[in-house]
């Protein structure tokens, strides 16, 4: 292949470029990224950047385009693709031909629906990009009381950062127990209690009906008729994959770019990686997108190999998904299947205890260990993740040395 274009200037895009070079591609490499910033890392945005501990520059990904021989097209987005002609159209009016393409356009934060009264008020934020984080940090300096809509990882990390800044914070979540769909009800309840103990007000099992105020938001009205005073609202209700530009391209899309087990799209010289790729993971048995940091790194490497070696490279991408979240000074890590709202068949704390809020817990389904959660024990999780990848049985669910 003479020219490979990577669309998407975040972690998956950058790691794809590095992997393509490492795998021996000696032709042209072009990165197209819609944000004007040099590629940056997202995990610090809801933590160090939001709390004002890190300047924006410290989030920059270690990446040397000159050394890798990458032509950078930043501040430019891909507006359409013609997979037959192998041609991209860009937002600056130019076109870009390619021999191979990596789609890594990720996802955008979902905003409050237009149908919600007050969705357009001032001081209603989302948190996805560096600019989002800087704007939110600048607003938090004025010490508003904060309402977070959605108690997913972003919402709870924002709540945690707000408490660290001494701000009052209420989190509104339709689920009865935040995160129960990811880590099961028992462990999710423990984390919810940690937030309550830290002074976060959790309003669960209820939604936001409207935002009210003048030019800026002043309160949130909930579906049960109660109100929450808030001078600032953060909407953390998930993301939408950036696939609109692929309409009519010839690449199969749905909730993301539809890939096979090797990360190839429906078009042979196009692969996808990161938040946007929806593929069948043989480990979990699910066809899904995964929005985690480690996933972007691992999938970028796999997709790069698939692109360079072609269909002859038939190794499936089947990692044990790993993610972490930092909340209230505690590292929460999980590897394995998302638990889908219920506890697994089995739950066993194999290290530490619920009482000390430092633990490693294993989740079992039938005769297998399908997941591991570590709370405040960052170094322990990897041991179990590796064993789970090797097919750990439930009767082996004991502390590992």
Partner 1 sequence: MKIVVDFDLCQSHALCTQAAPEVFEVRDDGFLYILQETPPEGLRGKVQKAVSECPTGAITIEG
Residue numbers of the site for partner 1 (CB under 8 A)?
15, 18, 41, 43, 61-62, 293-294, 297-298, 301, 324, 331, 333, 377-382, 385-386
Shortest separation between residue 134's beta carbon and partner 1, angstroms = 20
CA distance 155 to 171: 7
Cβ proximity to partner 1: between 1 and 61 the closer is: 61
Shortest separation between residue 294's beta carbon and partner 1, angstroms = 7
CA distance 322 to 290: 10
CA distance 87 to 95: 7
Shortest separation between residue 386's beta carbon and partner 1, angstroms = 6
Shortest separation between residue 156's beta carbon and partner 1, angstroms = 18
Cβ proximity to partner 1: between 365 and 383 the closer is: 383
Pairing between strand 3-7 and 100-103? parallel
CA distance 154 to 214: 27
Cβ proximity to partner 1: between 54 and 313 the closer is: 54
Cβ proximity to partner 1: between 80 and 283 the closer is: 283
Cβ proximity to partner 1: between 135 and 283 the closer is: 283
Cβ proximity to partner 1: between 69 and 376 the closer is: 376
Shortest separation between residue 331's beta carbon and partner 1, angstroms = 7
CA distance 151 to 145: 17
The residue length of the chain stands at 401
CA distance 339 to 175: 14
Shortest separation between residue 378's beta carbon and partner 1, angstroms = 4
Cβ proximity to partner 1: between 62 and 93 the closer is: 62
Q: Which residue has the tokens 């990165």?
A: 31
Which SS3 state, helix, strand or coil, does residue 267 take?
A: coil
**What would the two tokens of residue 325 be?**
């979240």
Which SS3 state, helix, strand or coil, does residue 13 take?
A: helix
Under a CB-based contact definition with an 8 Å cutoff, are residues 112 and 120 in contact? no
CA distance 16 to 291: 16
Cβ proximity to partner 1: between 130 and 233 the closer is: 130
Shortest separation between residue 57's beta carbon and partner 1, angstroms = 13
Shortest separation between residue 400's beta carbon and partner 1, angstroms = 13
């Amino acid at each position: 292949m003479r020219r490979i274009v990577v669309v998407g200037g975040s972690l998956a895009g950058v790691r794809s470029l590095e992997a393509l070079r490492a795998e021996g591609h000696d032709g042209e490499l072009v990165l197209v990224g819609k944000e004007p910033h040099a590629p940056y890392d997202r995990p610090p945005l809801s933590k160090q950047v939001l709390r004002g501990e890190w300047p924006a520059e410290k989030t920059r990904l270690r990446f040397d385009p000159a050394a890798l021989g990458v032509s950078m097209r930043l501040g430019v987005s891909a507006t359409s693709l013609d997979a037959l002609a192998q041609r991209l159209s860009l937002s600056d009016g130019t076109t870009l031909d390619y021999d191979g393409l990596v789609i890594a356009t990720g996802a955008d934060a979902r905003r409050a629906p237009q149908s919600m009264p007050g969705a357009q008020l001032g001081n209603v934020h989302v948190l996805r990009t560096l600019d989002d984080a800087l704007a939110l940090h600048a607003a938090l300096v004025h010490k508003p009381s904060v309402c977070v809509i959605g108690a997913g990882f972003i919402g709870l990390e924002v709540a945690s950062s707000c408490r660290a800044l001494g701000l009052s914070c209420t989190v509104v979540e339709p689920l009865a127990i935040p995160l129960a769909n990811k880590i099961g009800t028992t462990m999710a309840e423990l984390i919810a209690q940690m937030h309550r103990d830290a002074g976060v007000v959790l309003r669960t099992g209820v939604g936001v009906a409207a935002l009210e105020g003048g030019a800026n938001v002043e309160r949130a009205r909930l579906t049960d008729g109660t109100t929450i005073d808030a001078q600032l609202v953060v909407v953390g209700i998930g993301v939408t994959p950036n696939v609109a530009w692929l309409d009519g391209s010839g690449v199969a899309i749905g909730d993301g770019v539809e890939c096979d087990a090797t990360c190839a799209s429906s078009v042979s010289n196009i692969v996808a990686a990161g938040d946007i790729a929806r593929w069948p993971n043989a480990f979990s048995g699910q066809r899904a997108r995964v929005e985690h940091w480690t996933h972007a790194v691992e999938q970028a490497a796999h997709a790069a190999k698939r692109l360079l070696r072609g269909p002859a490279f038939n190794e499936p991408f089947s990692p044990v998904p790993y993610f972490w979240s930092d909340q209230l000074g505690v590292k929460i890590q999980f590897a394995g299947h998302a638990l889908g709202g219920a506890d697994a068949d089995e739950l066993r704390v194999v290290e530490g205890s619920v009482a000390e809020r430092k633990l490693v817990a294993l989740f079992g389904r039938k005769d297998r260990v399908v997941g591991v959660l570590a709370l405040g024990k960052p170094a322990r999780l990897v041991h179990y993740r590796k064993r789970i990848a090797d097919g750990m049985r439930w009767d082996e669910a004991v502390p590992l040395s």
